[in-house]
């Protein structure tokens, strides 16, 4: 794929109820804090991250699930991926993940093979609610249905925001295209 942008719409038929059984308070992860060691890489194309993004408006709750907690093989079959990490994010009202590109930090720690192009599936875990926004490049995504989403590579700019009144839940599946 080289430096070509890859973005594909997908859907899954998969039981994701395990995500909602999570005690989210244990998984607080301010995006700014989590990304601090990688902010230069992730936000460099934009001239850095504006100071108005801080640990109070970039909060996410992210939990990673092991192969014993969810079926990596079945997710991989449905997404046409070799799955290496599965996580879920709870994004509460008033929080944003700023415009960025993914560098697949955890995946690259796990798999040292740099010859393969990593991808991530971002799957919506509930039907769209007013104020929930995801954007890929110039495409603003709203009105989604539960278990639909997108697979994209490290060249696709994207952001996520919850300007609504209810929590937003997504599943992130990372690996390599088959």
Chain segment 122-155, per-residue pLDDT in tens? 999 999 999 999 999 999 999 999 999 999 999 9
pLDDT reported for residue 34 = 47
User: pLDDT value at position 1?
Assistant: 43
Q: Which of 119, 16, 8, 144 is nearest to 70 (CA)?
A: 16
Per-residue pLDDT of 83-114, as tens digits, reads: 999 999 999 999 999 998 888 888 888 888 87
3-state secondary structure of 48: coil
The residue ranking higher by pLDDT, 26 or 132, is: 132
**Residue 159 CB neighbours (<10 A):** 14
Q: How confident is the model at residue 54 (pLDDT cuts 50, 70, 90)?
A: confident
Q: Closest Cα to residue 174, out of 100, 86, 89?
A: 86
CATH code for the structural domain at 7-177: 2.60.120.10
| pLDDT of residue 65 exceeding 80 | yes
Q: What is the mean pLDDT of the chain?
A: 89
């Amino acid at each position: 794929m080289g430096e070509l942008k890859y973005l594909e719409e997908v859907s899954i038929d998969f039981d994701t109820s395990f995500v909602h059984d999570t005690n989210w308070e244990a998984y607080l992860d301010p995006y700014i804090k989590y990304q601090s060691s990688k902010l230069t890489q992730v936000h460099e194309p934009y001239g850095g991250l504006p100071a108005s993004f801080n640990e109070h408006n970039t909060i996410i709750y992210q939990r990673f699930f092991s192969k014993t907690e969810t079926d990596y093989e079945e997710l991989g079959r449905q997404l046409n991926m070799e799955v290496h990490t599965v996580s879920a994010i709870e994004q509460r009202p008033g929080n944003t993940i700023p415009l960025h590109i993914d560098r697949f930090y955890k995946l690259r720690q796990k798999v040292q093979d740099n010859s393969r192009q990593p991808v991530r599936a971002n799957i919506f875990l509930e039907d769209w609610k007013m104020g929930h926004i995801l954007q890929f490049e110039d495409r603003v995504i709203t009105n989604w249905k539960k278990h639909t989403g997108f697979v994209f590579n490290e060249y696709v700019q994207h952001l996520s925001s919850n300007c609504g009144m209810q929590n937003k839940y997504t599943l992130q599946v990372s690996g390599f295209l088959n």
